[in-house]
Each structure stands twice: as structure tokens, then as C-alpha cells.
Chain A
């Protein structure tokens, strides 16, 4: 018989499991293994904290999403949104599955090229494309999604300079019935700006209009908005056919599908409320199929969804540093992963679990990260089991945005490992060391010497 784990004593009113207005007392299930690999072992081998990615989950999620769309629409293409997670291992997994690349900066563009993506399968989004970036994209025949008129004029000028055609699409923003309306990307649909841009492009001999793009928002919980967006883009495409006899080759509906994380302040957990890929696919494809687009010239449907494809595949695991009691009597647990690693904890109530088995007892706890900053809160208030120093935790659904938005703040960033489909573990990003950071710095000579 194994020794029972020690838990600190607590004083709690007995409620005997009766339902209260908060429902039944909830037990947080521990999570000890990911894809059959023990988290404790990973921590002892690769250090704490640690990001863990599951390749199987990535592939499975991608295929689910692809199936949802491709069984509803004859021509579907995914483009991996680099900003969501541009670890090369992640990008390449998606590329192996058949994804193109969607990038929003020169840096991401180069990263995609370095990952072996053929430049003609890179979608170049974003408001900030430098002259050099544009030049490169034109030469490489990548798809440039034009964000504003200044960019349009610059592209026209560049194509003349380079004497080369550019393959472009415009980004369209529109009222899809959601609030706040995203109107900062691209040209507006309702006020006619989109048509101005399209007419300008059609008038140019140097620009080849290949597609229409929209990005209606992020973490969208409503599929109706996509239906509206798809219908409006289809209307533009039909209009182009009528007015300019021009068939566009694709409609890019952007990304923004909600993942199953729970937004802060949400009443129901995200696992229950987030629409499935099928829901999004049904909304988008039904709008396209019922539009006036002709079946023989149906444009390709491109999806840039990032979050919903990768969130579930990422885990952040680490170690409890300490427990303390706050001034108001609440418990606080300090762990070795903070907002520096888990940027998304600013807007999610992350699903955090103990790794080791615990008792049924929980206590209202605030979970703090290790930073010497007041804002470093992972969970403000959670009925959490009684973990003690040295115990381990794991946070689910951290695959999106954290590996790109994390901060090198106060401390260094840890390793990222990926468990492949055979259960083998690979380090896909090494931990940062002092030298990593210092290597970038240059100390002026006069500061070389310090005398104490």
C-alpha cells in the first residue's frame, strides 16, 4: 500500500455534496499523462516549467477541421496562421498535412520560406508590409492581401518598377452583426470602399486579382457572423463576374474560430459553448453554396484558422513553488509558470489541473505565477486541490498564441517539447540561457569596467 499523500489541513464548512447555487462541488480531475507519456517524467527530464505539444492532437484536429469543410464544399484549402504558433515543428506539421502559410510580417514570411513553403503558397496579410517585403512577395508570386490604399498604390508602383505582375487579393471588412465591428483591416464593404479598391485593381494591368479576404474577428462564438461574411464576399465575387468578367480564384474567410478555452467572465465553460468546426463549416459553406456563384467556377475556400487548430495540442506544465495565505484569508498557490509564459491567461480562465492524484478537498485559491509583479495571476479564484510545494500542475489548451506572445521578462523561457505520433518526445525549442539573451546585447566600451 502506497503512503497517502500529505495535504495541508484546512477548515471548511461541510456541505455534504449538496448542490448549492454554484452547482455540485466540482472535483478537478488530475492529468498525469499526455498521449501516454508521463508528465512527471517529462518534467524531470526536461526541467520545469515545460511546454508540451501533441503532434497527434494537431493532426487529428486538422483532419477534423478539413473533413468538416471538404465534405461540404468541393475546393477547400487551409493556410496555417503563423502568428498563432510559429514554432517550426508546429508549422511543418501543418504543412505536412497540406496547409499553406498565412503570414503577417516580413519575419513570418521569411520563416515560412525557411520552412520550405513554396512562396506561391504564402498568403501575406497584415497592415505592416515594408517595401522590401512587398518586393519580395511580388517577385516570389506570393498572394498579397492588400490592407489599404497606400499599400495598393505602393504595390502598383513596385510592379511597374519590377516589371512583374503581382497576385493580389483585397482584405474586406464588413458589418457581420457582431460588436465591436472589426473595421481596421482592409476596405469596408458597406461604404463602397471595397468596390473602389476592386475597380482600381481591375483597372491595373499589373495586378492580378486572385481572391477576396476577410478577417471578421477573433475568438468568434457566433457562426452567423461567418455566414454573413461569406455571403458578402460571394456577392462581391459575383459582382466582379458581372462587372469585370473576372473570376476570382479564392475566397479567404480568415480565421478567428473560437477554441474550447473559457473566456474570463464567461458563464459557461468554452468546452460547452464553442461552436464546432462543423458548425462553422456549415455556416460558411451553406452561404457560399446558396450564393449566385456558379458551380463550375466555385472559388477555392481558404481558411486561416489558427487558434482552434492548435489550442488543444498545447500543454504548459510546471511545479508548485509555495503556498501562502493572503490578507483576506484566501489561499494563494505560487507556481513556476506565470503570464510571461501564459500570455493568454489575461483573457482565459485556463483549465489547470494537478498532475498527481489529490483528495476530493478543494479550497478557494488564487494561483500566482513566479514573477515579481502583481499582475502575474494565472487564476484569480479557483476551487483548487491542496497542492503543496514540489507538486506539479498542468494547464490545458495553451497551444495558441503563447509560444508567440510569451515574454522574456524577469526570467528565461523554458523548453518546448513535442510528443510525436509514435509517442517519442522531441525538444522543438531549447530553453533560453543567459548567453542567449546576452548574445544580442552590445556593451559600450566605457561601460566595460565596473569598479566596486
Chain B
């Protein structure tokens, strides 16, 4: 991307960021609004550019500059200066200086409150602007801008009588007083006092986000009613000077920084009155300094509320703070729902089953026998036969038990932290309560993440303290030592490295859970008692095809060679991995471990091959059993176009009536050694009110060299792409 386009996007996003968006169109509208007053618009633009360019010259993160993070506060400062002071060279100088200052303050705030995981919102603007206001009292050469006061005069100079009439007509629209105040409040965000500007912001907001639009009204009216209730004297004008605080708080807490849902709306209704009180109080204080409150109450209330949320020990309030800001409440919501459903209680370090083959959970979490209280998050595994028995013959000696002597393997990479290997195996039916855990291995996988394997066979441990182990390494054999009347493997995860540490609730990764009827592959699982569990061995062909290592290049010849598409696997500043289409610039973000691939979201042209691929490879396991079927659901905004979602967007925080399902079918025979071609078939089905919309079918052909072809069928549209190999 060249510098011009880079800064172009950065500028537009700086405008949009004022309303929490990164939507370029919305940014454009807001840019236009600031130019209602030509000089003011210019002042804003200059300030933004100065902030962006100085950030760039200093070498701050490109991604953040491009997102407008360092620009939007400068924009507000610039507009403010443009409104207050007389245009001229002197003002330009001050704008340049304050643009740089705002960028500095922004970065500082990012550093200071970013530590607490809080956004700096418009604090940098407020601080900088107050500084300038206080300082400017000494700037004798700088004249105050009379235009702010005599708007009509100015307009007359600019556009003659018609412009003045037109301007007046808008302001005199027959609207409810409260509605007028709403629009005026919105316009005041950009230092305007005009219905039209407010309407444009409102329309921009609607285009950008339906949820934010609804929230803006909600926040406004809660405050409005509260004012009436408390009998605080106000006029349309005085209210509008602070009214945006309520709107911004509502949008920020109701949908932008907290995932929008019923609870977040309730939170808005609760917090906005607090903002009212704060506003009135702060106005009193700041009056002494002759400073305006601007958006200070919004900043204080929002940051305080977010900070309070961080001290929660559980989420009974069902308020979910954003975890991955996608700059629109809808997107945040859809992705949050999808992410929660797919990886909700997922573990950051994938922990595998600590054995080979299929075992049965004979005691799960909160088990009936010993998995209680602090040790409730543990599993006991045994091997059972077709009759569900755990032993053959009489079952009176260790060797009769299927699991006895079987390998216990490392569930993940790590370092051996503790080993006990000298506890006698109990005779069948007896328990050793002296050495409760018996022979045990504890492995450290990450900070505060240890796994523990217990009741191992005496003398079978092959590792020693300090050894580095990798997933699948044989560690020891299943035995019958400790509090174990029958041979079994006890497995638990804990946050501390001691034998007897309390357990933590941590799920297992990529577990095939088999029941009588079907087998289900769970990307993260807490297998319950009675579940038959196993890990799927990785099929090298699938790994070859769907294993996207950063730097990998792929070339597809589409529809008989009429079109060639090139993809590259890349990684961004935040270590997110994605496939980028070098032709269209589209990106498909994914995450993958050594057994499964999950696509997350897609940006860019939805007519690209990459988008179809994103839909088709939404979830892929590198290993499979006979006729394995993987099912998943898409984030709504990934499977539906934004227009199709409009009505859903309005209701999304409360009900979802649309759905997009993913299904992937593996071959009927799990043929472990498949150096020949085989296919994976699947469908993407969209539902509205449980009525099926158009279904898409897709097929991957794969062989030992990876992809052979990819085919995507949607209605009468068919795309066939052949993978080019060198």
C-alpha cells in the first residue's frame, strides 16, 4: 500500500473513530460535517494529518496509525481550536503544535491506562484542549473567532441569502424538542450546533451500526428523562453541549466496549443517570476554571465502569467486555457469539489425551468417588471392552485389566516438574491412602499450567525431573498405585506444581468422543463419565493441504485457467495468522494447532476465491474416523451480506433469527494411508426463521501433495479451482 492510500485511510478512520467506527464511509460523512464550517474543517484535517504524520515519523505501529488511533483526538482538538480562534497563520501554528501534542498524549495514555486493559477514549483530547484553553488566555496575538457567535453573518458571506435560508430551514424543522436536542447533541460532538449535522451523524451511525444507532437514542432518552425527573433546568442548547456524553456512554458501554446484549442495555440504563450526575457536578467544578466539560463525564463514567468490571470474580452479570475490537457492535457481537460457541471454554495451551487409542472416562469432573471439592476437575480413564468391562478373565490380578501397563504419554509439550516412581502397585481392590496419589508425574506446560498423571505403575516412569517432553512422548505406564483399587489413569490440570495441588477447570483439545451411534470431534472437550474418548492420528495429506505455515504460497487456476489467484499465508502485528489473496487483498484469518484448523473471519472482497475457501475450510481436522462429520456455525456477518443482516442487526442483542451452518463430511472409510486422491465434501447452509436459504456445496480434492482442487457451488454458480504445484 502506498503512503497516500495509507494516510487517506488513516485520516478517514480518525474521523470514524470518534464514533468508535473504522468504517471509511462513515469517516467520510463525518469529515464532510466538519467542513460545514470551512475553516473549522480545515483546522481539524490539519490537526489529524499532523498527528498521523508525526506518529509515522516517530515509527509508531503502522496498524494503529492506519486504524486512526492516534488521529481522532487530534481531530477533536483541531476542530475545537478552529471554532474558538480566528483563522490565520498563528492558529495554524498552534494547531500543528497541538496536533503533535495530542499524538504524544494519546500514546502516553495508551501506555498508562492501556496497562489496565482500558481504552483511552477522548481523554487525550480533553486534557490537551484544556491545556490549550488555559494557555491561550496568555496568547495575546490570537484573536477569538467571532464566527462561532455570528454564524449567519459568516454564512451570508459564504453563500448569500439562499444558504442562510436553507440553513435556517433545517434548524426550524418541525421536530419534537427532544428529537431536536438529540440531533444537536450529536452535532455537538464535532463542535457544531446544527440539526443537519446531527442528522448526518445519525445517518452515518445507522449505516455504520444499527445497534449503535439504537443505543444512541436509548442513552439520550434515559438522560433526557432523568433531567426532567430531577427537574434540572436546561434548554435545547445547553443540553446539547453535554448531551453527547450520554449518547457516547450508551454506545460505548452498550455495544462497543461491551458485547451488546440484554444485560448491556440494562447497564446503559443504569450508568447513564450516573453520567448525568457526573456531568452536572463536573460542570460546577470546571466553571471555576472557566473550562467546558466536553466529553469528560463520558470518559470518567466509561472508564470507571470498565475498571469495576475487571474486579469481577465471575460473570453472573453476563457483561462481556470486548476481546477483539472489530469496530462495530454487530461485528463484535456476531464474532463473540461464534467464538464463544466454538472456543468458549477453550484452553490457551491445547492439552491432549494422555494415552493412545480409545479409553473410557470412568470418573469425570465432580465425580461420585474422589473427584470432589478442590480436586473436582479431574478425569479417570480406563480401557473397556465391548461389554463395558475393564478387565478380562477374573479381574483379580493387575494384568487382567486392559489399561494396566499401557503407555501414559505427554499431553502437551513441557518440562517434567515432579516424579514419583516407587509406590507399590496395590493388589486389586485395595487402596493406599498413605500415598494417596501413588506414582505421579507432573509436567509444566506454561506458567500456572501443570498436568498431573497419577496411579502409575511402579518403576515404569521413563522421565526424570527437568526432562523436556513433547506431545505424545511415552512417560510411564498406567498402574494401580496410591488411592486406586483398580488400575486406572488419573489426569488433572492444576496451576501449581505440587502433588495434591487443587485442580483447575481446563478443557482437553481435539477429542473424538464416541457414543453408540456417532462419533463427535470436539475441539475442546470436558468428556463426561462414560464417554469413550480417543485422539485422531493426523492424516499427513490433510496436514499438507490445510496446514498453513506462515510464508506458504498457493496458486490456484480458476475455472479452467481463465483466472489465476495467488495466496500467501501471513502473520500480522498481533501474531494473528491469515491467508491473503495477493490479487484482491482479501484476508481470511485462521487459527490452527497441530490437529485442527479453524477459520475465524474474513475481510475483503466476497467475490474472491478466498472467501469461498474461507467458508469451505471453516473447520478442518487433520485426522478423522470413518464418515466423520464436523459441524459448526458461522458468525452471521461472515456468511450474510450486510444488507441481508439489517433487520437482524437491530434485534441481534436480543434474538437471532438467522443462522449459517457449516458441515464437512470425511470419507466413509478412514483410510489412514491415503496417498491417492480423496475428497472432503461439505455444505454451507443459511437459515432465516428456520427456513433454509440457498445452500452452497463444496468439495476439496486432496492427495499426498496437498490440494488437488477446490470446487464451490452456489445456486447455478460453479467455481472450480485447481491448485498449481511446482
> Measuring CB to CB, which residues of chain A are less than 8 angstroms from any residue of chain B?
60, 63-64, 67, 69-77, 98, 118, 120-121, 141, 167, 208, 210, 249-250, 278, 282, 285, 289-290, 295-296, 300
Contact = CB atoms under 8 A, between A and B. Distances in A.
Given A72-B356, A208-B675, A295-B473, A67 B669 contact: no
B283 to A, nearest CB: 66
B358 A249 contact: no
A250 B386 contact: no
A249 B671 CA distance: 13
B383 interface: yes
Contacts of A76: 357
21 contacts: A63-B385, A70-B357, A71-B355, A71-B356, A71-B358, A71-B359, A71-B403, A73-B356, A73-B357, A74-B472, A74-B537, A76-B357, A120-B671, A121-B671, A249-B675, A278-B405, A285-B407, A289-B407, A290-B474, A295-B472, A296-B472
B406 interface: yes
A120 B472 CA distance: 29
A98 B474 CA distance: 26
B676 A120 contact: yes
Interface string B496-540: 000000000000000000000000000000000000000101000
For B356, B470, B535, B673, the residue with the greatest tally of chain A CB atoms inside 10 Å of its CB is B673
A64 B392 CA distance: 10
Contact of A71 (B383, B626, B671, B672): B383
A351 to B, nearest CB: 19
A265 B392 CA distance: 29
Nearest to B472: A295
A167 B383 CA distance: 36
A246 to B, nearest CB: 13
A289 B385 contact: no
A71 B474 contact: no
A60 B386 contact: yes
Interface of A is mostly: mixed
Contact of B673 (A73, A250, A295): A250
Interface string B398-423: 01001101110000000000000000
Interface string B220-244: 0000000000000000000000000
B471 interface: yes
A290 B357 CA distance: 18
Interface string B369-410: 000000000000001011000001000000100110111000
Nearest to B392: A64
Interface in B101-126: none
Contacts of B673: 77, 210, 249-250, 300
A77 B672 contact: yes
A391 B399 CA distance: 41
Given A75-B672, A77-B672, A208-B675, A295 B359 contact: no
A261 B582 CA distance: 68
A63 B470 contact: no
A141 B675 CA distance: 9
A435 B263 CA distance: 86
Contacts of B355: 71
Contact of B383 (A67, A98, A282): A67
Contacts of B535: 74
A386 B386 CA distance: 40
Contact of A210 (B474, B537, B675): B675
A105 B92 CA distance: 94
Nearest to A63: B386
Interface in B664-678: 669, 671-676
Nearest to B471: A295
Given A70-B357, A73-B356, A295 B386 contact: no
Contacts of A98: 626
Contacts, number: 70
A61 B535 CA distance: 23
B675 A72 contact: no
Nearest to A247: B540
A75 B357 contact: no
A296 B385 CA distance: 28
Nearest to B469: A295
Given A67-B357, A67-B385, A289-B474, A72 B407 contact: yes
A134 B406 CA distance: 41
Nearest to B399: A278
A407 B535 CA distance: 47
Contacts of A208: 675
Given A71-B406, A77-B672, A282-B405, A295 B470 contact: yes
Contacts of A120: 671, 674-676
A295 B470 CA distance: 9
Given A118-B671, A300-B673, 10 more contacts: A64-B392, A67-B357, A67-B383, A67-B385, A70-B357, A73-B357, A77-B672, A120-B676, A249-B675, A295-B471
A99 B676 CA distance: 19
Q: Which 5 A-B pairs have the closest CB atoms?
A: A71-B357, A70-B357, A295-B472, A75-B537, A74-B356
B356 A67 contact: no
A60 B669 CA distance: 21
A249 B704 CA distance: 12
Contacts of B386: 60, 63
B360 to A, nearest CB: 11
A72 B358 contact: no
Contacts of A118: 669, 671
Contacts of A290: 474
B402 A71 contact: yes
A48 to B, nearest CB: 33
A241 B192 CA distance: 74
A167 B474 contact: no
A281 to B, nearest CB: 10
For B356, B359, B472, B674, the residue with the greatest tally of chain A CB atoms inside 10 Å of its CB is B356
B74 to A, nearest CB: 52
A167 B407 contact: no
A67 B675 contact: no
Nearest to A211: B673
Contacts of A285: 407
Contacts of A249: 673, 675
A295 B405 CA distance: 20
B163 to A, nearest CB: 74
A76 B537 CA distance: 10
B397 to A, nearest CB: 13
Contact of B357 (A72, A167, A250, A289): A72
A285 B355 CA distance: 13
A60 B474 CA distance: 28
Contact of B406 (A60, A72, A300): A72
Contacts of B676: 120, 141
Nearest to B402: A67
Interface string B677-700: 000000000000000000000000
Nearest to B538: A296
Contacts of A250: 673
B472 to A, nearest CB: 4
A120 B678 CA distance: 12
Nearest to A66: B357
For B392, B474, B672, the residue with the greatest tally of chain A CB atoms inside 10 Å of its CB is B672
A100 to B, nearest CB: 9
A102 B497 CA distance: 50
Contacts of A63: 385-386
Contacts of B672: 75, 77, 300
A64 B358 CA distance: 12
A69 B406 CA distance: 10
A190 to B, nearest CB: 29
A30 to B, nearest CB: 23
Nearest to A59: B386
Nearest to A73: B356
A300 B424 CA distance: 35
Contacts of A295: 470-473
For A72, A74, A295, the residue with the greatest tally of chain B CB atoms inside 10 Å of its CB is A74
Contacts of B406: 71-72
Contacts of B385: 63-64, 67
